[in-house]
Amino acid sequence: MKAEERTIGKILTEQIRYEIPPYQRPYSWKVENVQQLLEDTWEAFAAKDDEYFIGSLITIEKQRDRCYDVVDGQQRLTTLNLIFARLRDHIADPAAKSALGQRVLPKDELTGEVESPRLALRRKDQGFFRRHVLDAAPVPKEVRDQLDAPQLRITENLDAIDAFLAGRSDQLLRLYAAFLLSKVYVVFVNTESWKSAYRLFNVLNARGLSLSNADLIKNMLFSRLDDQARRSDELEERWLELEDELGIDRLDAFFGHHRTSLLASRGRGSLSEEFEPLILAATGGPFAFLDGVIRSAENYMRVMDGDFADPAAHQALCALHRVEYDEWIPPLLAYLNQPVAGMPEADFVALLERITMQNWVRRLGRSARLTVYFQLINAIKGGKSADEVRGVFRLHANNGEFLALLGGEVYGKPFDAAVLMRLDEAAQDESVTRTYGGRLTIEHVLPQALKDPYWQARFNPDQHALWLHRLGNLAMLSGSKNYKAQYYDFDRKKRIYLDRDRKVSFDLTKELCTAPEWTEDRIRDRHERMLALAERTWAIA
């Protein structure tokens, strides 16, 4: 291993090329990172500092003094390429423009033919980088709207660089470019082997390099290639399939759920540490392991997108997504990755919704909730029968306590809106799923204060206190406030409900408008009907 200080001019020079290896994360610097680098280097330039240090560049030498894999520093190195490409485009002087162009996309001085770029990004992003950075082709709006995260970062950062350079004189930009090349330094670290780079990569992470769990898991997979290193391109293609399936921002969340679906236990270390023995033990090596991960990722996206053809399964899944925690995802992943014979998909999802809603309403602690899910995962992975898997659901159900809690005061509880929304669906056929994404208000039909003579004539204080926050007296309205309904009499409230119904229709609210009066008997009747509906929806027999 060798380390030395080098100027940017010595980094981006001669015929040296840099490649981002497949185990690296994609480009991820945000606009604020780029603006900070520009402002800091410009401030040093304006102050005429003799040197300015911007960190390290850690590489593996693939071809002596010619080609290097970038282990750490790709975010800075890529951003420097963006900056020099844009400086080339902003500067009018032909000689300076040509000199800067040589730093990012060299040309043969005699023939004028374009040579290999100084920097090659990951295969998936290189074409975009070449076209829109090195060749300076504009990114059309219709293309921008379809970009994935790394390419969008590049586009946004190019815009930020353009904004920073705009309005500055040609001479000032040439002097700034000269400062970047001659006065800005990195520590250039060169290693000679895959294994030493892998070791250094992990040491850097332990010392604070910001790597995601997905980065480290990917790195482990590449480190397990051993004598199959020639297949790294193939493994990269498979990893890109995973990124395409999930999107980079979802990788860590997915790996967390996938890990639990495999181990049925709480994490005892970092996510990447827990995957290491799984990768080492995988029959068929990293390729077989990654194949299983990709299949699980496809099922994870089915869960996240609600991609279930059966209407009942789709309805139950939408209800699960309204729960305040997502601990139900690993058992569903376990089932989708290893279906239980004789147990249709819709049956499993329906039971999972029932036990999840029961435990949410019962306010069970996390340990008690996880116990149910872990037992389900173990039953599925252990090849238990459909009846045995159903038995796990029955074992942990408590229909009596659940219905008793729903029969009490519901308003103000974390689950109040989710319960009302699901009951509104359940009152119709299975094809109806509420996907309302606006603000939802829970309305008290009998108002929270007996101010109007209408209510004073029909309810005494004890009746008011008994029914105010119970299901039978609650309705849903669209919008963030229900101040229009306030304490008005029932006829006036119904007119407000009908007005709100023109925007969003909730059947449990609409039915109120057919009632001539709102009395204790009517609340009791509606309450009992809603509880019966809740029992049909969530009880486990």
For the stretch 240-269, pLDDT in tens is 899 889 988 889 899 999 999 999 998 887
Q: Return all residues near 357 (Cβ < 8 A) that are at least 6 apart.
A: 319, 323, 402, 415, 418, 419, 422, 538
The number of angstroms, rounded, from the C-alpha of 335 to the middle of its chain's C-alpha atoms is: 22
pLDDT computed for residue 209 by the predictor: 45
Yes or no: say if 265 and 331 are a contact pair by the CB < 8 Å rule. no
Instruction: Report pLDDT for 206.
Output: 53
**46 C-beta neighbours (distance < 10 Å), count:** 11
Which segments in the chain show pLDDT lower than 70? 1, 23, 109-110, 192-211, 226-229, 429-438, 479-485, 500-505
Q: Which residues pair with 17 in a beta bridge?
A: 67
pLDDT digits (tens, 9 = 90+) for 270-304: 787 889 899 888 888 889 999 999 999 999 999 99
- The domain ranges of the chain are 2-206, 213-304, 306-397, 437-538
Dihedral angle of Cα 176, 180, 182, 188, to the nearest 10 degrees: 180
User: What value, to the nearest 5°, has the Cα angle with vertex 267 and ends 265 and 273?
Assistant: 125
Q: What is the pLDDT of residue 32?
A: 94
Whether residue 77 contacts residue 57, with contact meaning beta carbons closer than 8 Å, is answered with yes
State pTM to two decimals. 0.73
For residue range 210-234, what is the model confidence (pLDDT) as tens digits? 557 787 788 788 878 766 667 777 8
pLDDT confidence of residue 193: 64
CA dist., res. 516 & res. 27, Å (int)? 64
